[in-house]
A and B are shown apart, each in its own frame.
Chain A
Amino acid sequence: MAYTQFVLVCAGTACDSCHSRAMYERLVEGVRAHGLADRVQVVRTGCFGFCAQGPVVKVLPDESFYVKVQPTDADEIVAEHLVKGRPVRRLLYSGPAPAAAVTDIPFYQKQLRIVLRNCGLIDPENVHEYIARDGYAALARVLTEMTPEDVIEELRRSGLRGRGGAGYPTWKKWSFTKAVEADTKYIICNADEGDPGAYMDRSTLEGDPHSILEAMAIAGYAVGAHQGYIYVRAEYPLAIHRLDIAIRQARELGLLGRDILGRGFDFDIEIRLGAGAFVCGEETALIASIEGKRGMPVPRPPYPAVRGLWGRPTVINNVETLANVPVIILKGGDWFASIGTETSKGTKVFALTGKVNNSGLIEVPMGITLREIIFDIGGGIKGGKRFKAVQTGGPSGGLIPEQFLDTPIDYESLAKLGSIMGSGGMIVMDEDDCIVDVNKFYLEFTVDESCGKCAPCRIGGRTMYNLLTKIAEGRGTVADIEQIQTVATAMQKASLCGLGQTAPNPVLSGLRYFGDEYRVHIKERRCPAGRCRALVTYTILPDKCIGCTLCARRCPVNCISGERRKPHIIDLTRCIKCGECFQVCKFGAVQRS
């Protein structure tokens, strides 16, 4: 006899800690007691998110989603739902469902996938699977039913803003380029995803390459361009491979090339490879790089929309921005604008990583809170540690502390908090991460990636990095903080491009929200998280050490001595503070202070 119903019990860490095991057993028992054992299967699952609402239970095939289920509720689920087919209403999830309005599907998930609509569903190397899911239907509509003005108007209604960083309205970029009289114009897709900790664009290109090609062709039609370039990181070989296949397939079907769909519109696309320069994410630097030069930015204006690649009007949009375009054309700008907040429409894809249980690629409606992302979708902090901060916007963004977790996120609210939406890296930090250390990490990155053309960025970044190093090594003074702030202001105001202008953001947000941690580093010469090596001392507690010799054997500089079964001692003059002893000790005898 085959099973007809399945009861899924979340056995993730959080649910497990609140009786999901007892409930699982009770469900199994209930199913058996009611004689349903050959009809209903009860299974434990991986984490479903919603950990604050746990334990959670889902019943298939009807997709009923129960939250905060107690072991005592198990009997009711069995007796009512499984036996009589009546879901237990009081246990069904009924929280805020911001996107429920736009789908008719019972909605408990926090995510809404517009950009990632095909990722994880279609075979990216098969154009037919893309076409089966309305692929190239938007391009067909644009070429048959819409004028270029209509396309731009639809985008204006949608409220779509650039997903690469600053959030400039996409329709405006397009209309500027359209307005310029020129024999040649270009469309560039910025796929130079250099922000460490962000991989949304790579996943989109790998999972749904045709959506980008289609959007670029639509952009070309709207502004009067016939050639597109995708500037993609050389570090993404799979994305390049799949784009290459997609372009060839699209050309074969006449969806790229001359006279697309017999409508007299020509458009073709070429791939250009980046070569590992973060600054090339900046649009004027990117253009220089496509032109085969060192990727150095030039002052704007003139903006690329007017004078871009080879001096011609050029639209530059990032991958995620473009991926939205076909859906906006198909479902309408008004539909898109119904999702999100007053100023920020649609969804945002984030790469949720760091010290979070369910790291992953997520797409959420604008206006969702950080708490929902980190705790409901992300399943909370790894190992039950305390949340400390989340960094959005990568090296150009900032740290957001716990008190702002309930802020609905959009471009404006994140800017107000001193961060940015950025491309979509979202890195969660816990109590073991040191703010000074993290700030230093990002500055080291921007210093290394500064192209060196303008002095504020080249010299300012280095100066700030040196000051942070000083603080991290316990040589900091209160005056250093002031100097950091002075330099930061200069960089923000005087740097040539976004890289230098935003490089101080992480440090400024660190000072703003975690000033105490900075002060402890300066005044007490101490790193509370134990990450700043120079400020950490390792000692062995004689009453806990049993003399197993493990630490002494593992110490790379042989600075731990002691007889077997007797407490050991670390020679602090030789200790390099690698922390190996601290990690390997099974008895908690090595103390870090």
Chain B
Amino acid sequence: MHEETEITSLPDRSIELPEPVAKFIEEWKDKPGNLIMVLHKVQEHYGYVPRDVAFEVAARLRVPLAKIYGVITFYHFFKLRKPGRHQIAVCMGTACYLKGGEDLIKELETILGIGLNQTTPDGEFSLEAVRCIGCCGLAPVLTVDGQVYGRLTKDQLADIVARHRGA
């Protein structure tokens, strides 16, 4: 079921992959359906999927680059641009929406001076809205680098941002 397309002419962009990523690819190289798992590993390491790494993955897995970008752009989880050092993700699941998730986003946009899916000029914070993270009992919630803050009100946000700035 997998594409047997041979990649004949890869541009000369071959790069060194960091050890954990290289090792992971080596381990998964021959397993069917490995692409998404490999992309997860890449994003875990870089925070996104850099273009030259995507080329390298294509070469090592012998998968067409188009397929890799097809997969990356299909799934919300994968990012093509480098996120901020701290990633703020506001939950927009139903419970959080009903309890004011949108207000949290607006307030954060004001505090950070950026819009949704943008990164502050100093590269410190990026802001995104995410699907339900399953803490509906604590709605509205957001996460900063995976750490969950719940039962939030707008006035707590400046504090939370300050706590992570430079940390």
| CB pair A276 B94 closer than 8 Å | no
Hey, which chain B residues are within 8 Å of A203, CB to CB?
134
Residue of A nearest to B91 (CB): A196
B contact residues around A220 at 8 Å (CB): none
CB pair A235–B130 under 8 Å, yes or no, is yes
A263-279 interface bits toward B, Cβ cutoff 8 Å, 1 = contact, 0 = none: 00000000011111110
Q: Is B65 an interface position by the 8 A CB rule?
A: no
Q: Residue A195 contacts which of B32, B130, B132 (CB distance < 8 angstroms)? A: B132
Within 8 A of A (CB), among B48-84: 67, 70-71, 74-78
B112 at the interface (CB under 8 A from A): no
A272-B37, A275-B40, A359-B137 known; A294 vs B132 contact (CB < 8 Å): no
| Contact between B33 and A360, CB atoms less than 8 A apart | no
- The answer to whether the Cβ of B139 comes within 8 Å of any Cβ in the partner chain is yes
Count chain B residues whose beta carbon lies closer than 8 angstroms to a beta carbon of A.
36
Q: Check if B10 is an interface residue, CB within 8 A of chain A.
A: no
B149 within 8 A of A: no
Q: Are B95 and A353 in contact (CB under 8 A)?
A: yes
Query: Which of B70, B94, B133, B139 meets A235, CB within 8 Å?
Result: B133
Residues of B within 8 A of A236 (CB): 134
- A195's closest neighbor in chain B, by CB? B132
Q: Which residues of A contact B108 (CB under 8 A)?
A: none
Q: Tell me, in angstroms, the Cα distance from A374 to B33 when the chains sit together.
A: 43
Instruction: Indicate if A394 sits at the interface (CB-CB under 8 A).
Output: yes
C-alpha spacing A438/B70, complex, angstroms: 32
- B36 A289 Cβ-Cβ under 8 A: yes
Q: Is B98 an interface residue (CB 8 A)?
A: yes
CA distance A360 to B92 in the complex (A): 18
- A-chain residues with CB within 8 Å of residue B98 when the two chains form the complex: 354-355, 427, 429, 433, 438
B45 CB-CB contact with A under 8 Å: no
C-alpha spacing A132/B10, complex, angstroms: 56
Residue with the highest number of chain A CB atoms closer than 10 Å, among B40, B132, B137: B132
| Cβ of A199 under 8 Å from chain B | yes
**0/1 interface trace, chain A 433-451, chain B, CB 8 Å (1 if under):** 1000010011000000001
Contact present for B33 and A291 (CB under 8 Å): yes
Q: A276-B75, A292-B35, A292-B71 are in contact. Are A199 and B40 (CB under 8 A)?
A: no
Contacts known (A197-B94, A291-B1, A433-B98); A275 close to B39, Cβ less than 8 A: yes
Chain A contact residues (Cβ within 8 angstroms of B): what range?
35 or more
CB-nearest residue of chain A relative to B61? Answer: A292
CB 8 Å contact bits of B74-111 with A (1 = contact, 0 = none)? 11111000000000000011110110000000100010
User: By the criterion CB–CB under 8 Å, are A310 and B1 in contact?
Assistant: yes
Question: Considering the complex, which residues of chain A in the window 267-308 have a beta carbon less than 8 Å from any beta carbon of chain B?
Answer: 272-278, 289-295
Task: Count A-B contacts at CB 8 Å.
Answer: 116
Instruction: Choose from A276, A277, A441 the contact partner of B97 (Cβ within 8 Å).
Output: A441
Determine how close the nearest CB of chain B comes to the CB of A285; give it in whole angstroms.
10
Q: Are B76 and A425 in contact (CB under 8 A)?
A: no
A295 to B74, CA, bound (A): 8
Given A273-B37, A310-B1, the answer on whether A293 and B139 have CB atoms closer than 8 Å is: no
Mask of B106-145 contacts with A, CB within 8 angstroms, 1/0: 1000100000000000000000001111111101000000
Contact of A290 among B2, B33, B94, B133 (CB under 8 A): B33
Whole-angstrom distance between the alpha carbons of A290 and B2 in the complex? 12
A311 touches B93 (CB 8 A): no
Residues of chain A within 8 A of B1, CB atoms compared: 291, 310-311
Which A211-247 residues sit within 8 Å CB-CB of chain B?
A: 234-237
How far is the CB of B80 from the nearest CB of chain A, in Å?
13
Residues of B within 8 A of A234 (CB): 40, 77
Question: Do A272 and B136 have beta carbons less than 8 Å apart?
Answer: no
From A275, A292, A311, A355, residue with most partner B Cβ within 10 Å:
A292
Q: Are B94 and A277 in touch, CB under 8 angstroms?
A: no
B residues in contact with A425, CB < 8 Å: 94
Q: How far is the CB of B149 from chain A (nearest CB, A)?
A: 16
Q: Give the residues in chain A near B75, CB-CB below 8 Å.
A: 274-277, 294-295
Residues in B neighbouring A351, C-beta threshold 8 A: 134, 136
Rounded to whole angstroms, the CA-CA distance of A292 and B31 in the bound complex is 10
Cα A272 to Cα B67 in complex, Å, equals 19
Q: Evaluate contact between A578 and B137: CB separation under 8 angstroms.
A: no
* Docked CA distance A591–B86 (Å): 39
Q: Are B77 and A197 in contact (CB under 8 A)?
A: no
B residues less than 8 Å from A12 (CB atoms):
none
Find residues 418-463 in chain A having any chain B CB closer than 8 Å to their own CB. Answer: 425, 427, 429, 433, 438, 441-442, 451
Interface-centre pick from B33, B35, B67 (highest chain A CB count, 10 A)? B33
Chain B residues whose C-beta falls within 8 Å of the C-beta of A383 in the assembled complex: none
CA distance A572 to B139 in the complex (A): 32
B71:A294 contact, CB within 8 angstroms? yes
- Closest chain A CB from B33 CB (angstroms): 4
Q: Which residues of A contact B11 (CB under 8 A)?
A: none
Instruction: For the complex, give the distance between the alpha carbons of A310 and B2 in Å.
Output: 9
Q: Indicate whether B156 reaches chain A with its CB closer than 8 angstroms.
A: no
Q: Which residue from chain A places its CB closest to the CB of B76 in the assembled complex?
A: A276
A77 to B15, CA, bound (A): 78
Task: Give CA–CA (A199, B139) in the complex, Å.
Answer: 13
Q: Is B18 an interface residue (CB 8 A)?
A: no
Quick check: is A193 within 8 A (CB to CB) of the other chain? Answer: yes
B131, A197: Cβ atoms closer than 8 Å: no
Complex Cα gap A272–B37 (Å):
7
B131 near A194 with CB under 8 A, answer: yes
A-B pairs, top 4 by smallest CB distance, nearest first, are A199-B134, A275-B75, A276-B76, A276-B77
What are 15 of the A-B contact pairs (CB < 8 Å)?
A194-B132, A197-B93, A272-B36, A273-B36, A273-B40, A275-B39, A275-B75, A275-B77, A294-B75, A295-B74, A295-B75, A311-B1, A355-B98, A427-B95, A578-B106
